[in-house]
Each structure stands twice: as C-alpha cells, then as structure tokens.
Amino acid sequence: MSLHQTSGHWRLGLTLSLLTVFLWGILPIALAVTLQVLDVYTVIWFRFLGSFVMLAVYLGIRGKLPKLEKLRSASWKLLAIATLFLGINYFLFMQGLALTSPANAEVLIQLSTLLLGLGGLVIFKERYRLYQWIGVSVMTCGYLLFFREQLTNLITAHGTYILGSVLIALGSTAWAIYALAQKQLLQSLSSPSIMLTIYGGCALLLTPLARVKSLFILDTFHLGMLVFCALNTLIAYGAFAESLEHWEASRVSAVLALAPIVTLISVAVVSVIAPDWTPPEHFTFIAILGAGLVVTGSVAIALGKSD
C-alpha cells in the first residue's frame, strides 16, 4: 500500500497547526462554562453533530459534498477506524477525567501528540535530524518540569486515580490511531470529505449517551458557549486535518504539544477578566522554565529541515 505524501507547503501546514493549537488551547475554558449546565456526553455529541451539520451546509452551498461513489472507492476500513477511534478517544478521556484531575489529564493526553510523532517517523518514514532529536529531548524535559507536581501526584496516587490515568492514556493512543488513519485517508479523499464522515459517525456513536432534552432549557449565554464549542471543533479539526495534507505528522505533533501551555495561559488571563468562568492557575518559576523548554524544543522540531 502506498503511503500519503505531503504537498510540501510547510508554511501552510505550520499556520494550520498553530490555528489548531490556539483553538484547542482555548476550548477547555468554553467547555468548563458549558459543563456547568450540561453533562459531558451531551456536550460532546452536540459538538460533533453541530460540526457535521455546519460542514454539510457549507459543502452543499459550494457544491462539494462528497459523492457516494468516491466514498465507496476510498478505504472504508480506514474511515471506520478513524471514526471509531476518535469516538473512543472522547469516551475514554471523559471517563478518565471523572476519576482523576484536570491537571493530570492535561499531562497524560500529551501522549497522543508523542504517539502521532512516532507514527509519522515509523509508518510514514519521516525523518529527524540530530538537532531535532535534541529538540525532542528538550521538549520532554520541559514537560517534566512543567507538570512536575502532577507527575508526583500520579506516582503516589490511589487505585481509582490510577485507573482514570490508564483510561486517559488509552484515550491518547486511540487519538493517535485516528490521526494516523486520517493522514493516510488524505491520499484518496479531501480533508473536508473525511471530516464530514467522521463528524457524522462520531455523532451517531455518541447519540445513546446524549441527553437531548437538556438542550432546550439552556439560557442564551450557555447556548452560545455550546455553539462556540461546536464551531471550535469544526474549525480546529478541519485545520488539523488539512495541516497533515501539507506537513509531516511528526512536525505537526511537535506544534500541537504547545496546546496545554496555551490552555494554562488562557486560563490565567480569563480568571482575571471573568473569575466566575474558571479558577486561576498559579505558576512556579520551574513551571515557567519548563514551558520555555517546551516551546524551544517544539520550534526546533517543527522548523528543522528534512533529511
């Protein structure tokens, strides 16, 4: 089986990756507000359903809805794998989050970008130069410093906490499988066609868990936040999918590693502007040093020349 090759437009791939990082970085704040009035599965279901409807309308207006014949000619197995494993990722992450803490979940979910990068190197035969491997080491050290307290909590945790951590780690693995399948699908389908199928499939998978009636009692503010979450999903995953068309998966994963730093910075800013939305985060000097190392390592990996 031939493997997907990037277009070589790395600047576009970088821009789309940074857009994804920004959107994924601010998403937890909107989710935290929305989860004040809705359960997690209804929120996830609405995000996928809303993204499916909006993308279908957009493609329909432009006359670019995927043809059934073209979908049939594509790899249905890969489409099913991508849809199933993205749904599994969301399910396991939310189950694990209920048994552990948000900070711990933020640490472990980074396994997904690490596995995506490794998948790009092993499956798609991408290559790093020596200084890019040094960048990987620097970024890893940065995360160890940035999340030092959470890692200490994980080591000394009780059984339920560890179970939640295992579920999140499995969810990270599921996400990496989805992302690698997504990249290979780009060989036969456009990214909008792939995402339309995945959004619809994930919405269908999560329908039994959703409490649809609870949507009809939302006030305007929380409804607006919920719609924003759906728009965020549509644009962020669309940008991520398109970035894989133009840039290597190993480099995209390095940029995505910046998402938790964007999240914590956003939380720090929003907690001052709107303290009712989210509690403040307090950063130690070591955490700030770790964040700087993560950024440095990510830049070295992403912007280094290919062999």
pLDDT tens string, the chain, 307 residues long: the values are 566 566 667 789 889 999 999 998 888 888 888 888 999 899 999 999 999 999 999 999 988 888 766 666 657 888 999 999 999 998 888 888 777 766 566 667 777 887 888 888 888 777 777 877 887 888 788 877 876 766 666 566 667 777 888 888 899 899 999 999 988 888 888 889 899 999 999 999 999 999 999 999 999 999 999 999 999 999 999 999 899 888 887 788 888 878 877 887 887 888 888 877 776 666 677 877 887 787 787 777 766 655 4
* CB neighbours of residue 277 within 10 Å: 15
Provide the whole-model pTM.
0.81
Which runs of consecutive H residues, i.e. helices, occur in the chain?
Answer: 10-34, 40-61, 68-73, 76-99, 102-108, 111-122, 130-146, 148-155, 159-185, 191-206, 220-246, 249-256, 259-273, 285-303
Contact 83, 202 (CB under 8 A): yes
